[in-house]
Amino acid sequence: YVNDIGEPIERFMTFHSIDGHTAEYLSSSIVDLFKYWNLNIKKCVGQSFDNASNMAGKYTGVQARIKNISPMADFVPCAAHSLNLVDVNSIESCTQAVKYFGLVQAVYVFFSSSTKRWKLLTDNLKKTKNTYILKPHSETRWSSNANAVQALQNDYNIILSVLNNIYENENEKPQYRVESNNLLKQLKKKETAVFTCIWNSILSRINESSIQLQSTTRNFSNIIPIYNSLIIYIQSKKKTPKSKCLNVTDTPEIILSERQKFIYDVHFVICDNLMTELNKRKSKYQELDDKFGFLYRSESNSCETKLKIEKCLSSYCDEIEIDYFFDEFIQFQAYIESIDDVYQCKQNPHNQLKYLYEMNIQQTFPNVETILRIFLSIPCTNCSSERSFSVLKRIKTRLRSTLTQERLDNLGLLSIESDLTSTLNFDDIINDFSLKKSRKIKSVAYNGLDFWWCKEIF
């Protein structure tokens, strides 16, 4: 929802236990929760889930069932989830890429499986004041691949040196010497170094974009520009395959067949797959971008623009006076053009709504205020709700191993919404608690001794 000063607010409501994963069951559970909280689901203007078929299914998924109940509830696939799928699919785009990330994980496992080898690696890193340490791959941590490749690139020479020392150490077990030698041979290949440079640059950009999309302050107008910028970046990487690291392979420069094969079969395949996936994911947001684009793009006041606006507002007939909106919006655009920081306001619906409240002119543009509030209430990610599960792990420690589920859920809610919790006055709660739990009411002195009278006695 949007508060009274124009800030979009995201709140965690509850943990809800489910007994199935079908779209019918999940959608009915959501409807029941809305009824329990006395919330009108028909007022819901947006919904965001991951890309699982039971959630995002076009005809029978949860989003389609909610849309049938509330026609205003536009579905936005979680932009961060979608970007993570781009990452995953690009890694699986060719055999060489799969082998490379298998090698990255094997290097981490080799060192982390032994405290002796791990200490040997970390001691060498400390000597060079290197702050990066090897990272593992994780299915649930989206940044794991980017972090793993970044650490490998920064520690590359040190890892080679440590592996070589382990291999040459005759006191080591033959099994570990063989493993270190195999890893050493793989890492010494120039193709591995090239892969490390390529993936580090690509994954770092994807990771930084994903972090931006996960922010609760991001709105829908940020999604497509971020996707477009990544597509342009990947295109630039594909257009310059001969630059920098791709000029070095184990094949001599005179013989071009193997080098060209690496460029065409590996580098181009990765870039093409990335661009295809990004365009595929971006297309799912294009419909909503066309619907609300008039709010943050400069468009002429033509009949075509008016038809687009009327088509957009047709979903909100009960909330907006369509007959008056177009004239009101033209005046609002002129008002925005007259302010000093026109670009920051014109290109950002969030700033537009905040400016309305700062100038106290929302009564002058009531329909514009409504459409801006609707737009900012549409979620573009659902990362915050998923991240809330990590709070339970922090609360239920070995010291609280006997917590009941209800108490754990309540403590989790207090922790997740800590900004609200900190504003509460606990004095009344403490007083009520002490009165309910107090069993002793007064004492009577008798022969120098204190006797307590308890409520149960009377």
* DSSP states of 408-429: HHHHHHHHHTHHHHTTS--HHH
pLDDT at site 181: 93
Residues 303-329: pLDDT tens digits? 777 888 888 888 888 888 888 888 888
Closest CA to 44 of 30, 57, 28, 55: 30
The sign of the torsion formed by the CA atoms of 14, 16, 22, 26 equals: negative
Residues 52-78 as b/e (b if ≥16 CB within 10 A, e otherwise) read eebbbeeeebbbbbbbeebebbbbbbb
CB 217 within 8 A of CB 378: no
Tokens of 458: 């009377």
> Phi and psi (nearest 5°) for 46?
-165, 150
pLDDT at site 177: 92
pLDDT at site 453: 46
Strand partners, 442: 453
> Phi and psi (nearest 5°) for 453?
-95, 130
Q: How far apart are the first and last CA of the chain?
A: 53
**R_g (Cα) of the chain, nearest Å:** 30
Percent of the chain with pLDDT over 90: 29
Higher-confidence position of 70 and 337:
70
pLDDT at site 454: 47
pLDDT at site 206: 92
Tokens of 94: 């060719």
> Phi and psi (nearest 5°) for 446?
-140, 110
The CA-CA-CA angle for residues 412, 416, 420, to 5°, reads: 115
Closest CA to 101 of 2, 225, 200: 200
The SS3 of residue 8 is strand
Mean pLDDT of the chain: 83
Where residue 447 falls (left for φ over 0; alpha for ψ -120 to 50; beta otherwise) is left
Confidence band for 115, pLDDT divided at 50, 70 and 90: very high
CB 166 within 8 A of CB 117: yes
pLDDT at site 430: 82
Tokens of 279: 């365009």
Which sequence spans correspond to the domains of the chain? 23-75+296-377, 82-288
Alpha carbon distance 324, 90 (integer Å): 48
Report field, pTM of the whole predicted structure over 0.85: no
Confidence band for 358, pLDDT divided at 50, 70 and 90: confident
Confidence band for 131, pLDDT divided at 50, 70 and 90: confident
Contacts of 36 (CB under 8 A, 6+ apart): none
Reported residue count of the chain is 458
Instruction: Indicate the pairing of strand 449-454 with strand 440-446.
Output: antiparallel
Alpha carbon distance 354, 6 (integer Å): 5
The DSSP call for residue 215 is -
Tokens of 33: 């929760």
Helix (H) or strand (E) holding 212: helix 190-214
The SS3 of residue 38 is coil
Overall average pLDDT of the 235-263 stretch = 62
Instruction: Using alpha carbons, list the distances in angstroms from residue 192 to 196, 204, 396.
Output: 6, 18, 43
Assign 3-state DSSP to the chain and report helix, strand, coil percentages, each to 5.
65, 5, 30
Alpha carbon distance 191, 96 (integer Å): 10
Alpha carbon distance 179, 411 (integer Å): 47
pLDDT at site 421: 86
Contacts of 186 (CB under 8 A, 6+ apart): 103, 192
Alpha carbon distance 2, 356 (integer Å): 13
- Lowest-confidence region among 210-224, 405-419, 431-445: 431-445
pLDDT at site 457: 40
Residues 419-455: pLDDT tens digits? 888 888 888 888 887 777 655 555 554 454 444 444 4
pLDDT at site 308: 80
Percent of the chain with pLDDT over 70: 88
- Reply yes or no on whether the pLDDT at 108 is more than 90: yes
pLDDT at site 451: 46
- Reply yes or no on whether the pLDDT at 412 is more than 70: yes
